[in-house]
């Protein structure tokens, strides 16, 4: 379904992906200016996986955050991964994968799904503790993992097209971490602490604080 393109070095696979048509996959052996969520950098250590999937602009782009994180979680299933809302994948409570959805402002016809997975090296000095497959005892390489992520993404996309978001949400929740627990959410303009009460039907995070019920569509979640 997807056409694979490999580059030895790129600034950001998400940038390069913007000049490719839907159903392309961009893979970089090295990434020099990786971007993360919320305007952060993505520390792109050599040996790790940097990939971007290009899809036609969907009606509900945020659904793809769940499709992508579910695909990564399924890929890492033997390691009992958890997904931390909205799309971080964790092993043993440490972040192993991050996902960044972007649309080029002048190209609203496609959505770019950038996926980073730590394979051989764990960045430090990050917002969250990190791990990598090597530290989990898995000896593999970026291309092997890319092929598995892509196969899972194709399967998840087919399920989404057939059965809709409800089914994706259900499978995603099987991997979710923190539901029913007290969490801390950092928003651009405030910090909230409350009970993570699951997701609404669109995938927004439901947070109950002593003051009110929040329905959050973005933010950094920290387990307490």
The window from 7-15, 136-144, 145-153, 155-163 that contacts ligand BTN (CB under 6 A) reads: 7-15
Told to check if 42 binds ligand BTN by CB under 6 A, we report yes
Task: Give φ, ψ of 205 to 5 degrees.
Answer: -80, 130
| Choice between 36 and 47, CB closer to ligand BTN | 36
The window from 112-120, 153-161, 162-170, 176-184 that contacts ligand BTN (CB under 6 A) reads: 112-120
Among 81, 86, 114, 219, binds ligand BTN (CB under 6 A): 114
Told to check if 122 binds ligand BTN by CB under 6 A, we report no
- Alpha-carbon gap, residue 223 to 181, rounded angstroms: 8
Among 67, 73, 100, 142, binds ligand BTN (CB under 6 A): 100
Q: Is 211 exposed, middle or buried (0-12, 13-18, 19+ CB in 10 A)?
A: exposed
Told to check if 69 binds ligand BTN by CB under 6 A, we report no
Closest by CA to 51, choosing from 68, 80, 28, is 28
| Choice between 7 and 197, CB closer to ligand BTN | 7
The DSSP bridge partners found for residue 99 are 115
Told to check if 110 binds ligand BTN by CB under 6 A, we report no
Q: How many helices and strands in the chain, by DSSP H and E?
A: 4, 12
Q: Is 133 exposed, middle or buried (0-12, 13-18, 19+ CB in 10 A)?
A: buried
Question: In this structure, what is the dihedral angle of CA atoms 72, 68, 119, 3, given to the nearest 10 degrees?
Answer: 110
Told to check if 26 binds ligand BTN by CB under 6 A, we report no
Draw the binding track, 178-197, toward ligand BTN (x: CB under 6 A; -: no contact). Answer: --------------------
Give the residues lining the site for ligand BTN (CB under 6 A). 12-14, 34-37, 40, 42, 50-52, 88, 98-100, 114-116
């Amino acid at each position: 379904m997807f056409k694979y393109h490999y580059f030895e070095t790129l600034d950001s696979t998400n940038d390069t992906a913007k000049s490719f048509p839907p159903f392309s996959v961009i893979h970089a052996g090295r990434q020099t200016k990786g971007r993360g969520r919320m305007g952060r950098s993505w520390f792109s250590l050599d040996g790790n996986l940097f990939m971007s999937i290009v899809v036609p602009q969907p009606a509900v782009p945020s659904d793809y955050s769940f499709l992508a994180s579910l695909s990564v979680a399924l890929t890492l299933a033997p390691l009992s991964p958890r997904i931390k809302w909205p799309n971080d994948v964790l092993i043993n409570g440490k972040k192993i994968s991050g996902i960044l959805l972007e649309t080029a402002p002048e190209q609203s016809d496609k959505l770019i799904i950038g996926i980073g997975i730590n394979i051989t090296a764990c960045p430090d000095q990050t917002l969250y503790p990190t791990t990598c497959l090597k530290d989990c005892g898995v000896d593999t390489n970026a291309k092997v993992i890319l092929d598995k992520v892509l196969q899972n993404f194709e399967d998840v996309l087919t399920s989404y097209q057939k059965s809709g978001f409800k089914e994706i949400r259900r499978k995603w929740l099987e991997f979710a971490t923190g539901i029913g627990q007290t969490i801390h959410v950092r928003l651009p303009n405030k910090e909230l602490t409350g009970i993570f009460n699951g997701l609404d039907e669109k995938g927004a995070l439901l947070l109950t604080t002593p003051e009110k019920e929040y329905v959050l569509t973005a933010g950094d979640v920290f387990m307490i």
